[in-house]
Chain A
Amino acid sequence: MSMKCAVFPEKGGAIKITTVPIPEPKDGEVRIKVMACGVCHSDLLIQNGYSTSYPRIPGHEVAGIIDKIGKGVDNFKVGDKVGVGWFGGCCHEVNACDDDDWVCCAKGKACGSSYDGGYAEYCCAPHDALARIPEGMSFEKAGPLLCAGITVFNGIRNQHVKAGSLVCIQGIGGLGHLAIQFAKRLGYEVVAFSSGADKEALAIQLGAKHYIDGSQPDAIKRLTKMAPMMVVITGPSKKAVESLIPTIHVGGKLLLLAALPEPFSVDGTALLSKKVSIVGWPSGDSRDSQDTMKFSLNNGVEAMTETFPLEKAVEALQKMESGKVRFRAVLVMKQ
Chain B
Amino acid sequence: MDSTMRCARFAQQNGELELAVVPVPKITQTNQVKIKVYSCGVCHSDVLGKYGFPGISWPRIPGHEAVGRVLEVGSAVTRFKVGDKIGVGWFGGHCATCNPCLDNEWVCCQKGQVCGIHYDGGYAEQMIAPEDACALVPEELDFKHSGPLMCAGITVYNSIRQQDIKVGSLVCIQGIGGLGHLAIQFARKMGYEVVAFSGGADKRDLALKLGANHYIDGSQPDAIEQLTKLSPKLIVTTSPSAKAAESLLPALATCGKFLLLAAITDPMNINPLQLLLKKQSIVGFPSGDSRDSEDTLKFAAINNVQAMVEVFPLEKAAEALGKMLENRIRFRGVLSIVPEDQL
Residues of the A chain whose Cβ atoms lie less than 8 Å from the Cβ of B281: 253, 277-280
Decide: B263 and A266 in contact? CB cutoff 8 A. Answer: no
Q: How far is the CA of A276 from the CA of B107 in the complex (A)?
A: 13
Instruction: Pick out which of these stretches binds chain A: B25-33, B36-44, B271-279.
Output: B271-279
Q: Is A310 an interface residue (CB 8 A)?
A: no
Instruction: Pick out which of these stretches binds chain A: B3-11, B97-105, B185-193, B217-225.
Output: B97-105
Residues of the B chain whose Cβ atoms lie less than 8 Å from the Cβ of A278: 270, 275, 281-282
Residues facing B in A215-264 (CB within 8 A) are: 227, 241, 249-251, 253, 256-257, 259-260, 262-264
Q: Is B108 an interface residue (CB 8 A)?
A: yes
CB-nearest residue of chain B relative to A277? Answer: B283
Q: How far is the CA of A281 from the CA of B262 in the complex (A)?
A: 25
**A273-B286, A280-B275 known; A264+B254 contact, CB < 8 A:** no
Q: Is A268 an interface residue (CB 8 A)?
A: yes
**A256-B272, A263-B271 known; A250+B279 contact, CB < 8 A:** no
Residues facing A in B276-295 (CB within 8 A) are: 276-286
Residues of the B chain whose Cβ atoms lie less than 8 Å from the Cβ of A96: 254-255
Q: Is A210 an interface residue (CB 8 A)?
A: no
By the criterion of a CB under 8 Å from any partner CB, how many residues of chain A are at the interface? 37
Q: Is B24 an interface residue (CB 8 A)?
A: no
Decide: B108 and A101 in contact? CB cutoff 8 A. Answer: no
Which interface class (under 10, 10 to 19, 20 to 34, 35 or more) fits B?
35 or more
**Chain A binding site: helix, strand, loop or mixed by DSSP?**
mixed
Decide: A101 and B254 in contact? CB cutoff 8 A. Answer: yes
Decide: B284 and A274 in contact? CB cutoff 8 A. Answer: yes
Decide: A271 and B270 in contact? CB cutoff 8 A. Answer: no
Q: Is B261 an interface residue (CB 8 A)?
A: yes
Decide: A268 and B277 in contact? CB cutoff 8 A. Answer: no
Q: Is B268 an interface residue (CB 8 A)?
A: yes
Residues facing A in B161-210 (CB within 8 A) are: none
Partner of B255, one of A104, A260, A266, A271: A104
Decide: B272 and A271 in contact? CB cutoff 8 A. Answer: no
Q: How far is the CA of A227 from the CA of B100 in the complex (A)?
A: 11
Q: How far is the CA of A96 from the CA of B99 in the complex (A)?
A: 38
CB-nearest residue of chain A relative to B287? Answer: A272
Partner of A241, one of B103, B262, B268, B272: B272
Q: Is A267 an interface residue (CB 8 A)?
A: yes
CB-nearest residue of chain B relative to A103? Answer: B279
Q: How far is the CA of A308 from the CA of B301 in the complex (A)?
A: 69
CB-nearest residue of chain B relative to A260? Answer: B272
Q: Is B260 an interface residue (CB 8 A)?
A: yes
Shortest Cβ gap from B100 to chain A (Å): 4
Q: Is A99 an interface residue (CB 8 A)?
A: yes
Q: How far is the CA of A95 from the CA of B169 in the complex (A)?
A: 13
Tally of A-B residue pairs with Cβ under 8 A?
119
Shortest Cβ gap from B157 to chain A (Å): 16
Interface centre among B105, B270, B276, B280 (most CB of A within 10 A): B276
Residues of the A chain whose Cβ atoms lie less than 8 Å from the Cβ of B280: 279-280
Residues of the A chain whose Cβ atoms lie less than 8 Å from the Cβ of B267: 265-268
CB-nearest residue of chain A relative to B245? Answer: A268
Q: Is B269 an interface residue (CB 8 A)?
A: yes
**A101-B255, A250-B103 known; A265+B279 contact, CB < 8 A:** no
Q: How far is the CA of A265 from the CA of B282 in the complex (A)?
A: 12
**A96-B254, A263-B270 known; A256+B260 contact, CB < 8 A:** no
Q: Is B264 an interface residue (CB 8 A)?
A: yes
Decide: B272 and A264 in contact? CB cutoff 8 A. Answer: yes
Residues of the B chain whose Cβ atoms lie less than 8 Å from the Cβ of A266: 267-270, 282
**A269-B264, A274-B284 known; A251+B108 contact, CB < 8 A:** yes
Decide: B284 and A280 in contact? CB cutoff 8 A. Answer: no
Q: Is B56 an interface residue (CB 8 A)?
A: no
Q: Is A275 an interface residue (CB 8 A)?
A: yes
Q: Is A282 an interface residue (CB 8 A)?
A: yes
Interface string of A69-99 (1 = CB under 8 A from B): 0000000000000000000000000011001
Decide: A273 and B105 in contact? CB cutoff 8 A. Answer: no
Residues of the A chain whose Cβ atoms lie less than 8 Å from the Cβ of B108: 250-251, 273-275
**A251-B108, A274-B108, A279-B281 known; A269+B263 contact, CB < 8 A:** yes
Q: How far is the CA of A251 from the CA of B245 in the complex (A)?
A: 21
Q: How far is the CA of A268 from the CA of B263 in the complex (A)?
A: 7
Partner of B276, one of A227, A256, A274: A256
Residues of the B chain whose Cβ atoms lie less than 8 Å from the Cβ of A257: 276
Q: Is B265 an interface residue (CB 8 A)?
A: yes
Interface centre among A251, A259, A265, A269 (most CB of B within 10 A): A269
Residues of the B chain whose Cβ atoms lie less than 8 Å from the Cβ of A264: 269-270, 272
CB-nearest residue of chain A relative to B110? Answer: A250
Shortest Cβ gap from A250 to chain B (Å): 4
**A256-B272, A278-B270, A280-B272 known; A271+B284 contact, CB < 8 A:** yes
CB-nearest residue of chain A relative to B104? Answer: A251
Q: How far is the CA of A266 from the CA of B101 in the complex (A)?
A: 26
Q: Is B71 an interface residue (CB 8 A)?
A: no
Residues of the B chain whose Cβ atoms lie less than 8 Å from the Cβ of A268: 242, 245, 260, 262-265, 267-268, 284
Q: How far is the CA of A270 from the CA of B254 in the complex (A)?
A: 25
Q: How far is the CA of A257 from the CA of B277 in the complex (A)?
A: 10
22 residue pairs bridging A and B, Cβ less than 8 Å apart: A96-B254, A101-B255, A250-B108, A256-B276, A260-B272, A263-B269, A264-B269, A264-B270, A264-B272, A265-B270, A266-B269, A268-B268, A270-B284, A272-B261, A274-B286, A277-B281, A278-B275, A279-B281, A280-B272, A280-B275, A280-B281, A282-B279
- 13 extra A-B contacts, CB within 8 A, seeds A268-B265, A274-B108: A96-B255, A101-B254, A249-B99, A264-B272, A266-B270, A268-B263, A269-B264, A271-B283, A279-B280, A279-B281, A280-B275, A281-B276, A282-B279
Binding site for A on B (CB under 8 A): 99-100, 103, 105, 107-108, 231, 242, 245, 254-255, 260-265, 267-286
